[in-house]
Each structure stands twice: as C-alpha cells, then as structure tokens.
Amino acid sequence: MLKLFKKDPIKKLEKEYLKLMEEAMNIQRGGDIKAYALKVAEAEEIQKQIDKLRKG
C-alpha cells in the first residue's frame, strides 16, 4: 500500500535527462560547443542511471 504513494525514480530521472538535453540544444544553437559537450555528458550520466534502474 505504501508503494502506491512512492514516486517512480525513473520518471524523475527521465525528466532531468530531457531538461538537460533541451539545455544542451539551446547551448549548441548559441555556438558554445564546449559547454554543449559538457551538458550532453551530464545527460548521458543520467541515462546510464536510468538504464541501471531498468535492468536492476
């Protein structure tokens, strides 16, 4: 019954991933490729966490 009110950690991470990718896209449009690469790297780390939670 308590699980009913527990938030899904995967959904939270997916929202964060999408937010980071959108920020990366905006940075890329601005021409700052170095900052874009850093933001994409952050997003990739979150994607790894998502994959890990789905497997385990």
| Mean pLDDT, residues 14-20 | 98
Q: Which of 9, 1, 6, 4 is nearest to 49 (CA)?
A: 9
The pLDDT, as a whole number, for residue 30 is 97
Lookup result for tokens 């900052």 = 35
Q: Is the confidence at residue 50, as pLDDT, over 70?
A: yes
Q: Which of 55, 50, 45 is nearest to 10 (CA)?
A: 50
Amino acid making up residue 10: I
Output the furthest CA–CA distance in the chain (Å, rounded).
Answer: 50
Lookup result for tokens 């899904």 = 8
Amino acid making up residue 33: I
pTM: predicted TM-score of the whole model, two decimal places = 0.84
